[in-house]
Amino acid sequence: MACRRNKIAEALSGTMIADVCAEWVSNVWEEDFTQLPQVPQVLEDLTGDTMNLGKNLKMTIRELSMASEEGSDQSEFWKILTEQNLKPKALVACLYYFMQRVDQYVSPAEEREVAILAAHLYFAMIGVPGSGAYSIIHPVVFEEAVDIFKLLPSSDGVESAKRKRVTSQSQGSKAPRLNQRQKQVVGFDEDSDEEEDDVTALTPQETRHLRSCLLEMLKELVRLILKKSVNDNEQMLNQLVSRLVELTKSTEQHNVDFESRDVASVSSFTQGAFMGLKCLGSTHHTEGSDKMPPLTLVFKYLMPSLLMLMGENEGVAANNIPQQIQRIKQTAVEFVCHMISHMGEKSFGSVRVLLQHMCVTVPEKAEYRTLVGREVVKILQGLPEVAQESFMQWLCKYSQNVKIGYRVFALEVVTILMEPTGADPNVTPIPAGSSNLFLSQKSLLAMLIGRCSDRAPTVRAKALTCLGQFTSNDSPHIALALQELFLNPTSPGSDGNGQRQETEGSSSEIAMDTGEGGTNKDGATPGNLAGGSPLLLLNMSNGGQGYDLQGFLAMVKQRAGDEKVGVRKAALQVLENVSQIDKSKLDEGSLQVIQERCRDPALSVRKQAMVSCTNLLMKHATNESLQRYSIHSANMSLKAFDRGSLKAFDRGSLKAFYCGSLKGFERGLNQLSTRPDRNCK
């Protein structure tokens, strides 16, 4: 240890920080680091010799680190400072000066390295036992040290200053009118082309070296987080979490081992950042405290990653989400799932808030809704059944919110939950006959049906499309769910005859909650059910609603005549699927609706009607009513058809008729004319 003491003393002596005027140090601390007085000449001389300064800072850091690894008494560091006549606060003031003087784009590599080493040494000093006695932890200095991570260059060494300016200018064209003062500020930016000449380009060697220094600094920060809590200062905690989350978006994405606690083995910024976030999120939170729980804070800053709104996607959803951003999102989801298994019940409240915010802030783009919906389901399935049911209660009311986007996304989540392949293979799927009301396939199906008569055509079409996808599946769970919902006379919400009745918490209670008299006659969704933020829609009774099958079929038939093309097409799909599941529901009314849609003004609806008719006839080839309606449907499409040719129908002819092209129809007619003696089979 004596040898190490001598090396640290030699390094500190070489920095000449002890010669800095005490009055300057005192003024810096009195001003709380908000402004620096006239810099002493000795400091200017120090920063002029960056090579020597960097060498001495490196030596100090290395010796402190080795003392920690060997288990030596690090508190000897304070004695060394005393022997060198160097006060800890003076050292902190000088380190702050080294950090704040660097520029992200203009400073050369040597100055950036000095700033990184200064921040590294500051983290190391805080971690030395006894640092609290010297009061060297200052929020402004700590934030400045954490902000040094902004110096992280891209792996190719190309600075993004020019790209940032171009992006700002392009967004500025869509900005609102500027006031006079803002115009003056913009005026200074007119010389941005000249400023770009001052940007310092780093060589590949300099880039690799700076990234290596920053990675070592990150390791020191993680060690500090493991040893000392920073949760007492909310400002410091927010800044720290924010910077660590930014590091998780590093372009170098690796498989992250969330279980690892070996700081020395960290080889990527993503790994180190998640290690620090895990430690911060796992910190105990005092019940009843006004402060946000640390894990909730971590999830808050992870939201842009989970929603894939970062980089060029930030603020405006892109049509095609880059693979790099999807990988960042996937890693963030895996981290959330890991925290659930790591913290157990302590994490449930934070996870619930996270899921709610994901539902409320998801971009209103189809591609985003699908991807985010799957991640919501993946996180949800990591929770125990009781916690899942609690969230589904909230989702049920969320699906009735006044905002169309909310209702559409709720349907997206419900559809994914109902998919046999939608669940994580490592997670036990929700059983079809689950005893919990909000987790059963029956309940999810009821949520879909409830939106089929929504006032918004977008929601109606989405609900019917999802219902069509659900009923087209051959899984036995589908038939069971339909049977429980429609055919089980003892199901909740129905009387002994299977008729629908009001139950506790159904329409009467919803009307009371909304203050708007419940839903409109066309199934319109009332206002926000809690009268405020969607995140307050947390309470729901244990009641439910039963559904009458005939009423359901009547609703689907009505939707087949909807004013919107997408709704009509989806309704035909549902009608076809229900008829295929139970041929007793293949009544004259359903066939008449399908036949009527064969002359729909929309080509896509006509095609769907013909396809539905074909599929039903292939399933029930001996049904004479279906054969007759098929003839009529083809006749409507062909404008001229010999109805006496019914006996000549065979499956080959039928396929030709409904192949969707004029040649197919002609081929079908030819087959009918050449095979008059074939009967339908």
In a domain? residue 671 = yes
User: Which runs of E-coded beta strand occur in 545-608?
Assistant: none
CA distance 119 to 438: 52
Among 291, 261, 269, which Cα is nearest to 215's?
Answer: 269
Q: What is the pLDDT of residues 122-140, one digit of tens each?
A: 999 998 888 888 889 999 9
pLDDT on residue 200: 77
Distance of CA 236 to CAs 142, 280, 375, Å?
7, 12, 30
Three-state SS at 494: strand
CA distance 111 to 115: 6
- Tell me which amino acid residue 495 is: D
**427-431 LR contacts (CB < 8 Å, sep 24+):** 427/381, 427/382, 429/381, 430/388
Three-state SS at 500: strand
Three-state SS at 164: helix
How many CA atoms lie less than 13 Å away from 509 in the CB half-sphere? 13
Residue 387 contacts residue 435 (beta carbons within 8 Å): no
In a domain? residue 579 = yes
Residue 243 contacts residue 149 (beta carbons within 8 Å): yes
pLDDT on residue 577: 83
In a domain? residue 437 = no
In a domain? residue 242 = no
pTM: 0.78
Range of the domain at 130: 1-151
For the beta carbon of residue 542, count every other beta carbon within 10 angstroms.
Answer: 12
- Given CA atoms 577, 578, 584, 586 in this order, what sign does their dihedral have? negative
Residue 99 contacts residue 200 (beta carbons within 8 Å): no
Number of folded domains that form the chain: 2
Torsion of CA 404, 408, 414, 415, to 10 degrees: 160
In a domain? residue 537 = no
CA distance 88 to 238: 26
Last residue within a domain, chosen from 105, 133, 151? 151
pLDDT on residue 664: 52
Q: Which residues of the chain have pLDDT under 50?
A: 157-197, 422-429, 431-435, 489-546, 639-653, 655, 658-662, 665, 669, 671-673, 675-681
Last residue within a domain, chosen from 151, 178, 207? 151
pLDDT on residue 276: 94
Residue 124 contacts residue 65 (beta carbons within 8 Å): yes
In a domain? residue 36 = yes
pLDDT on residue 485: 66
In a domain? residue 177 = no
pLDDT on residue 440: 75
Tokens 């290596």, located at residue? 212
SS3 content of the chain, % helix, strand, coil (to 5): 65, 0, 35
Burial 280-312 (b: 16+ CB within 10 A, else e): bbeeebeeeeeebbbbbbbbbbbebbbbbbbee
Tokens 């097409």, located at residue? 569
Torsion of CA 631, 636, 638, 642, to 10 degrees: 40
Last residue within a domain, chosen from 118, 151, 184? 151
Distance of CA 567 to CAs 584, 587, 589, 604, 605, Å?
25, 22, 19, 11, 9
Token pair, residue 18, equals 């002890």
pLDDT on residue 532: 35
pLDDT on residue 537: 37
Helices (H), 620-658: 624-638, 651-657
In a domain? residue 298 = no
Residue 460 contacts residue 562 (beta carbons within 8 Å): yes
